[in-house]
């Protein structure tokens, strides 16, 4: 049985709705590939960039178990083992394989998974059967016209789709997947990358829609302009705050996102033990792709 939302608010650093949590997470970079093409995404293997979509290396599911063992020994406040890339967790089988191994080795650790949701309807049953405790789905728009400006295209069941058609398939699958997984009692967080020139006005509508599908909490992540959206601006504190307020009428809002790397370990915004987990030291530079 999955850990419920009330417990996650206390024990999961990314589900705290009030004050910043003092709990930690270890990310396991087991998912190399992706099946969609977000225009702001710049996936990399390095030990410099401090943002999602970046890890120093890809590790195997078996290596991931060792990483969790080391991480919890280094930081007793780590309560969550998460997979957040650097690609999509459902585009390759490694994330679900990892969670099966982690469940056996660490039955009490919270299993957290982040996905773009394209393959969520295909894998919902497996996610429920494994007992993932918290699922994050990145939904940047629920209107295909807007989504088509954020994502170039998708590869779905062996076929390439572009523009509005790609956006329609992606949105449909995200919403259907959220509904199925939420109905099984798994807590869903939705991440939205806030892009002032494209989706700023649309965020509360997206929040309302995913809330109706069963999502419990919402995380608005400011864009770091890069890649094909380098022409967009980084949202300022004032506008982020206003949009969070407008969104809160529909769903609880998480405000402490640290835009973590795919191999982050420790307490978000606090103790960082990632340097001690890998052979290559992790240096940091502030850029960003997704959540």
User: Which residues sit at the interface with ligand SF4, rule CB under 6 A?
Assistant: 34, 36-38, 41, 43, 53, 85, 87-88, 116, 289-290
**Residue positions counted in the chain:** 291
Distance CA 69, CA 9 (A): 24
CB of 51 to ligand CLF, least distance (A): 9
Residue 206 DSSP class: H
Q: Cβ neighbours of residue 245 under 8 Å, at least 6 residues apart?
A: none
Distance separating the N- and C-terminal Cα atoms of the chain: 26
Q: Cβ of residue 276: shortest distance to ligand SF4, in angstroms? A: 26
> x/- string (CB under 6 A) for ligand CLF, residues 84-123?
x---------------------------x-x---------
Closest approach of Cβ 42 to ligand SF4, in Å? 8
41 binds, among ligand CLF, ligand SF4, none (CB under 5 to 8 A by kind): ligand SF4
136 touches ligand CLF (CB under 6 A): yes
Site for ligand CLF in 17-76 (CB under 6 A): 25, 27, 52
Closest contact distance (angstroms) between CB of 23 and ligand CLF is 10
Cα–Cα distance for residue pair 88/44, rounded to 1 Å: 13
Residue 267 in the binding site for ligand CLF (CB under 6 A):
no
Q: Which is nearer to ligand CLF, 89 or 180 (CB)?
A: 89
Binding residue for ligand CLF, selected from 92, 172, 258, 287, defined by CB under 6 A: 258
Query: Angle at the Cα of 229 (from 224 to 235), degrees rounded to 5?
Result: 40
87 three-class SS:
coil
Name the minimum Å distance from CB 252 to ligand CLF.
13
Is 28 or 175 the residue whose CB approaches ligand CLF more closely? 28
Tell me the C-alpha distance between 209 and 197, whole Å. 21
103 in helix, strand or coil?
helix
Determine if residue 154 is left, alpha or beta; phi over 0 gives left, psi from -120 to 50 gives alpha, anything else beta: beta
């Amino acid at each position: 049985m999955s850990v419920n939302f009330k417990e996650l608010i206390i024990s999961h650093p990314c589900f705290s709705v009030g004050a910043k949590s003092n709990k930690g997470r270890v990310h396991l970079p087991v998912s190399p590939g992706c099946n969609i093409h977000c225009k702001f995404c710049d996936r990399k293997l390095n030990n410099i960039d401090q943002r999602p979509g970046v890890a120093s290396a890809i590790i195997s599911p078996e290596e991931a178990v060792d990483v969790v063992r080391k991480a919890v020994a280094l930081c007793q406040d780590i309560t969550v083992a998460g997979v957040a890339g650097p690609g999509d967790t459902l585009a390759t089988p490694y994330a679900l394989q990892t969670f099966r191994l982690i469940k056996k080795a660490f039955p009490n650790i919270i299993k957290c998974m982040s996905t773009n949701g394209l393959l969520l309807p295909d894998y919902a049953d497996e996610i429920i059967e494994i007992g993932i405790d918290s699922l994050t789905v990145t939904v940047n728009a629920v209107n295909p016209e807007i989504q088509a400006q954020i994502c170039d295209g998708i590869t779905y069941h062996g076929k390439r789709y572009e523009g509005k058609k790609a956006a329609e398939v992606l949105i449909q699958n995200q919403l259907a997947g959220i509904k199925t997984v939420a109905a099984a009692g798994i807590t869903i967080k939705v991440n939205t990358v806030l892009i002032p020139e494209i989706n700023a006005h649309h965020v509360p509508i997206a929040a309302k829609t995913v809330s109706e599908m069963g999502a419990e909490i919402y995380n608005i992540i400011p864009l770091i302009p890069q890649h094909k959206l380098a022409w967009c601006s980084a949202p300022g504190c004032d506008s982020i705050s206003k949009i969070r307020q407008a969104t809160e009428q529909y769903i609880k809002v998480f405000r402490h996102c640290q835009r973590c790397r795919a191999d982050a370990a420790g307490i978000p915004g606090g103790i960082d033990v990632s340097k001690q987990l890998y052979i290559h030291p992790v240096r940091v530079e502030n850029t960003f792709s997704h959540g």
